[in-house]
Amino acid sequence: MDPVKLNQLKQFVEQCKSNPSILSDPSLSFFRDYIESLGGKFPPSAYGAGDYKAKSRVVDESDDEIDDVEDDDNTKEEVEEEDEPEIVESDIELDESDTVEPDNDEPQKMGDPSVEVTEESRDASQESKAQAMEAISEGKLEDAIEHLTKAILLNPKSAIMYATRASVYIKMKKPNAAIRDATAALEINPDSAKGYKSRGIARAMLGQWEAAAKDLHVASKLDYDEEISAVLKKVEPNAHRIEEHRRKYDRMRKEHEDRKSERERQRRKAEAQAAYEKAKKQEESSSSRRAGGMPGGFPGGMPGGFPGGMPGGFPGGMPGGFPGGMPGGMPGGFPGAGAGGMPGAAPGGMPGNMDYSKILNDPELMAAFKDPDVMAALQDVMKNPANLAKHQANPKVAPIIAKMMGKFAGN
């Protein structure tokens, strides 16, 4: 192999190492493809903006999607693991030996409270009540109900008439009818002991243990008797079991809701943290891609490269010269060159048929290109040729530019 070409290849590789953006030129895509086919990898700056964006998009999106799926799966697993079954209340063991089936008869006749009660009607009401009491003593409960109903219609403002009929309905095992009468008695007289007693017993017959206990305790305070005490002994144990059961499950439900609320809080916290981490990761990824090039390069896209891509620029003597040329030459000239332009520079700018092997084979120039000060100055001049004047006094930069222009001129 030609030693000169081999040396140029070696210098090209060294230049690629120091400035990977050189490889972003589309004309070198075959070289990138070959290296990648061997398992090699390039930094982001070695790709053109479109190529790298397309490649990184595929990789990044697939990675992000996998991360998102994994995060979602983890969240679902946590929810599934932490979900608790709903609380199902157990049955309560109660003594219901004295309960009866509810009566569903038509409501009994009730008195009209707006009727004016006369002395005669009051007396007639008392007479009907006396007949009812006699019927009760004889066990004729239906007859007693008829007499008491007549007494209520004659004197609808008598609490005792309603309470007495309620007690008869209890004997007939009609608790709903008894409750209606007892409630009517209490509306007339809120301190009716017989009204509370009859309603408490009727509610116990229906298994309404807590309400029954409450009525019977009030009745006992108003007018204690042995029958109330006997019924309370059966009612209170059931009422206490129900109260304890309710307190227990109220506590369990509250604890369940507290745990559920805490899990929800932790879930929202975890989602917020995951979103933060994801955003942070994406920002770091974007920052690393933005920072992929090497500082100190020439303007025009990829950091470190000459403007406009490879044609006309380094390496390897690509035809076309520097992109765009420098119209009119560089004002002011270089040291040693005549005023008004660089030696050999045509008015149209730098020549477009420069053999860049002359630059690549020049150790002094290759070493100078690694100097950040020199590269910054060259970049400044390439942006605006008029800036050449401010670098002419720089002993480090001026000779390099002069030497380059000399090679452009064919020296």
Distance of CA 31 to the CA centre of its chain: 47
Digit-by-digit pLDDT tens for the chain (411 residues) are 678 777 778 887 887 877 877 777 777 778 778 787 887 777 777 666 555 544 544 444 444 444 554 555 555 555 445 567 777 777 778 888 889 999 989 999 999 989 899 999 999 999 999 999 999 999 999 999 999 999 999 999 999 999 999 999 999 999 999 999 999 999 999 999 999 999 999 999 999 999 999 999 999 999 999 999 999 999 999 999 999 998 998 998 899 889 989 999 999 999 999 999 999 888 888 877 665 443 443 333 333 333 333 333 333 333 333 333 333 333 333 333 333 333 333 333 344 455 666 777 788 888 888 888 888 888 888 888 888 888 888 888 888 888 887 776 665
Those residues whose C-beta lies under 8 Å from the C-beta of residue 13, and which sit 6 or more positions away, are none
- Residue 31 burial class via C-beta count within 10 angstroms: exposed 0-12, middle 13-18, buried 19 and up: middle
Closest CA to 15 of 385, 367, 374: 367
For the segment 99-130, what is each residue's pLDDT rounded down to a tens digit? 999 998 999 999 998 989 999 999 999 999 99
Token pair recorded at residue 85: 């079954």
Closest CA to 135 of 156, 149, 152: 149
Contact 25, 304 (CB under 8 A): no
Token pair recorded at residue 34: 């070959």
Residue found under tokens 């030996």: 97
pTM here?
Answer: 0.47
